[in-house]
Amino acid sequence: MNPDTRKRLNLLPPEALLKTGEVDHAEWNFRPILGSIIRIRYKLILSLLSGRRYRRMLEIGYGSGVFMPELARRCDGLYGIDVHPNQEAVVETLSRFNVVAGLFSGSAEAMPFESGHFDCVVTASTLEFIEDLDSACAEIRRILAPGGSFIAVMPGHSPLLDLELWALTGRSAKADYGDRRRLVIPTLLRHFTAQKKLTVPSIGNSVIGIYTALKLCPG
């Protein structure tokens, strides 16, 4: 990874996190063992951002805003969209940490942004929750500016990873994701061209894979 990603992540602290829904587990970032695994997602995104500063960046599925202090360092204008209706409370929380973000409540399948508005869109472990991913991909393509990048991190879909999730959290991956995880990457590659791919572990397969990260552009 880029040396920049080895620095401590600038996340919202656990006491500032607002629970925004059943699948918002931002507090897991600070648990022993599990937290070090969860935070890999953010380090992968930062590595694919490659130290570049963006004009306008959108995070899809921002949740409690836990990752936004880090993203705010890398863009002039930060935005977020999520299905939960708590955007005003998250904006207030972020402001206490000097983070300014334009947050919206809505679906990735129909976003309230002008075409070509963003030169970077990022998302961490969100796409596997979206029912109509083809529509979401079409929307992401629409709102990306020419030459823009879409950076996405997806969890693996292995029995080993699912067992680990259950052991550490008591949560069922099947209940959270259904069968959507195995469809995410093939769907993305129908709509975008992959510029770079990172996996954790770096040498692995579907049995042991934890995360896959892709830097994509409209193709």
Domains and CATH numbers, the chain: 3-218 (3.40.50.150)
Higher pLDDT, 200 or 178: 200
pLDDT at 8: 83
Nearest to 83 by CA among 24, 11, 38: 24
How far is 17 from 36, CA to CA, in rounded Å?
18
Alpha helices in the chain (DSSP H): 34-38, 40-49, 68-72, 87-95, 133-143, 159-169, 173-177, 181-191
For residue 173, what pLDDT band results from cuts at 50, 70 and 90? Answer: low
Full-model pTM: 0.88
Q: Who contacts 168 (Cβ-Cβ below 8 Å, separation ≥6)?
A: 31, 33, 34
Asked whether residue 4 carries a pLDDT value surpassing 50, the answer given is: no
Tell me what pLDDT residue 170 has. Answer: 62
* Residue 216: closest CA among 113, 103, 136: 136
Greater confidence (172 vs 83) lies with 83
